Amino acid sequence: MNRRIPDSTVRRISHYLRALEVMGVQGTPTVSSEELAQQGGTTAAQVRKDLSHFGSFGKRGLGYSVPELASRLRDILGLTCRWRVVLVGAGRIGSALFEYPHFARRGYDCVAVLDNDPEKIGMSWGPVRIRPVEELELVVDALKVDIAILAVPAEAAQTLAERAVAAGARAILNFAAVQLRVPAHVHVAYVNLVVELEALSFAITQNGKGRRK
Amino acid sequence: MNRRIPDSTVRRISHYLRALEVMGVQGTPTVSSEELAQQGGTTAAQVRKDLSHFGSFGKRGLGYSVPELASRLRDILGLTCRWRVVLVGAGRIGSALFEYPHFARRGYDCVAVLDNDPEKIGMSWGPVRIRPVEELELVVDALKVDIAILAVPAEAAQTLAERAVAAGARAILNFAAVQLRVPAHVHVAYVNLVVELEALSFAITQNGKGRRK
DNA sequence: ATGCGCTTGTGAAATTGGTCACAATGTAGG
DNA sequence: CCTACATTGTGACCAATTTCACAAGCGCAT
């Protein structure tokens, strides 16, 4: 086991965990790799290979204990502590994110919200007051922020990423449609609507030749 | 050239296109694979390999003509026609999406918005009136919808996907945190915030061992 | 017209990730 | 206790993707 873990494995683990949590609520005691594969949209062998990177959690002939495996996966994904997050950009996407119920529930605390619109600065979102984006360094440093979420226009993203990193952020979730250039020790994840839509229109175009009718 | 195109190639093409459009506005006439690679967060060889799947668009010794390559990439990605999209779910995410300026500008027309909340049904979002989700089949069929965007709770996603597909949708953009099971001819793209966040906390945990301080 | 420098396009090699098959190992039942 | 059966964990294969290296092509300067 161990070595470097493929990114795709990590993503799938995240899916397995969500499936396990549903099963946990339903009271299912054990699950086989075959069943997990169905939920996660993959194959039984893939499930076992993914898990084998981290150890062996199952019982041969029986499968996996749902609560136990869920707990192990939470450990693996680093969900046993709470992460401090700063949200940069209080626009539509930022607001949708902030309200997302699973967000806080899964261990992410939004300790600050920043924006550069004077109209928005000072507003209160629940317990958090929107601050000027100039305070980014202050916030990241003083509140020991781990993850910066960039929900800002593409032009602003690179600069803000650099500032967040310089102030100590170790990971960035980027909603802007640009590739960020950051030091190797900083991790970046992308959520990019446009890329996904364009991948779809590419796929449709390839297949059925053009749009309907 | 040609054969099956890797998904990762398609995503990168989408990035190249966006970089090219910025250069186009700035008036840059030509670009090398090296420069494109910088913008797209990859390597020059990768850029050339990606493009070579579709033909040869550059001039040796000189690079690529920015407007010409942009135009070719738009063709490849299927952005020269407009796609008809139905948005299912008029919550926070749906609303953020709907307002996203690049959405319409890049060739996607949101021809209908559906929700199951009686409070919302009948409201007008710009030129579009929110309809009951029961009308999904009607809308997909009558308005010749190509792409269904699911911005709904995880429990509802699978059923709605099946209904959209049965009514004729050929692609689905899924914001819900479940893997969809659909026939092979239907393309699905996922936007999953939770997976990305968990991939980040995994990465931070692996590296620096736990959160800051 | 020729040579030089730069940059593309591409087969071949290397790497990475996924699939398969099966031995190992557990449970349950007689 | 022993046999039948189910399901895991994994090493060996296989497939896909990325990297590498270089011949071929283009434009400019002389």
B104 pLDDT band, cuts 50/70/90, is confident
Show which of residues 10-39 on chain A sit within 8 Å of chain B, judged by CB atoms: 10-11, 13-15, 17-18, 39
- Other CB atoms within a 10 A radius of the CB of residue B75 amount to 12
- Enumerate the nucleotides of strand D whose atoms come under 7 Å of any protein CB: 5-11, 16-21, 24-27
Residues of chain A under the 50 pLDDT cut: none
Residue B151: what pLDDT?
97
Lookup: tokens for A115: 């924006």
Task: Identify the architecture of domain A7-76 in CATH.
Answer: Orthogonal Bundle (1.10)
Q: Quick one: which of A35, A57, A55, A33 has its CA closest to A46?
A: A33
Q: What is the pLDDT of residue A210?
A: 59
> Quick one: tokens of A127?
């317990």
Q: What is the pLDDT of residue B89?
A: 97
- B180-194 confidence digits (pLDDT tens): 999 999 999 999 999
Within 10 Å of residue B163's Cβ, how many Cβ atoms? 17
Confidence check: pLDDT of B61 > 70: yes
- For residue A137, the model assigns a pLDDT of 98
Domain boundaries, chain A: 7-76, 83-195
A209 touches chain B (CB under 8 A): no
CATH number attached to the domain at B7-75: 1.10.10.10
Question: Which tens digits make up the pLDDT trace of A25-59?
Answer: 999 999 999 999 999 999 999 999 999 999 999 99
pLDDT digits (tens, 9 = 90+) for B133-176: 999 999 999 999 999 999 999 999 999 999 999 999 999 999 99
CATH architecture of B83-195: 3-Layer(aba) Sandwich (3.40)
Nucleotides in C strand less than 7 A from protein CB: 5-11, 16-21, 24-27
Q: Does B147 touch chain A (CB under 8 A)?
A: yes
* Average pLDDT score, chain B: 94
- Residue A6 makes CB contacts below 8 A (sequence gap 6+) with none
